[in-house]
């Protein structure tokens, strides 16, 4: 049974349509044990779906790639906020920043290869072309 809750915009929605922070907020103030259990079940299901391997042989690197892809597909206009968080010395240490940078360099290198091999479409042509220019500019 899906219970209904008020979301952060003041609209009544099914529990499955709450954001993660809304789920946690409702869990912290909810007294009804059945409603609390439903909120926990949704949180655990999301954790399992997004942060755990989904098939045999899927590695944590695969999970991370899937998570970043899903995050990027839903990012909309919050890119600057996410980047500020990842580069803030209080929230992300230098080693993590280095690993993030190396990840994105590898991603750019892969896009450049896709550009050279003509494996792009209208939706990523600019990204692949720009990645190719970046990689070429890095060459001695």
Q: Band the pLDDT of 76: cuts 50, 70, 90.
A: low
DSSP-based three-state secondary structure for 48: helix
Overall average pLDDT of the 35-47 stretch: 91
24, two tokens:
């946690």
- Residue 4's beta-bridge partner residues? 14
Mean pLDDT of all residues belonging to the chain? 89
Cβ neighbours for 115, distance < 8 A, ≥ 6 positions apart: 128, 129, 131, 132
Residue 86's pLDDT band (cuts 50, 70, 90)? confident
Q: 53, 51, 33, 55: which is closest to 43 by C-alpha?
A: 51
Q: How confident is the model at residue 140 (pLDDT cuts 50, 70, 90)?
A: confident
DSSP string, 14-31: EGGGS-HHHHHHHHHH--
Total-model pTM: 0.62
Contact call for residues 53 and 62 (beta carbons, < 8 A): yes
């Amino acid at each position: 049974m899906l219970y209904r809750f008020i979301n952060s915009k003041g609209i009544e929605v099914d529990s499955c349509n709450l954001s993660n922070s809304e789920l946690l907020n409702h869990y912290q103030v909810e007294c009804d044990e059945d409603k609390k259990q439903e909120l926990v079940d949704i949180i655990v299901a999301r954790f399992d779906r997004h942060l755990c391997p989904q098939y045999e042989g899927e590695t944590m690197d695969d999970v991370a790639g899937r998570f970043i892809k899903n995050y990027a597909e839903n990012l909309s206009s919050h890119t600057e906020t996410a980047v500020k968080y990842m580069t803030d010395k209080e929230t992300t240490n230098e080693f993590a920043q280095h690993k993030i940078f190396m990840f994105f360099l590898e991603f750019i290198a892969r896009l450049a290869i896709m550009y050279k091999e003509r494996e792009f479409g209208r939706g990523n042509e600019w990204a692949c072309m720009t990645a190719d220019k970046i990689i070429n500019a890095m060459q001695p």
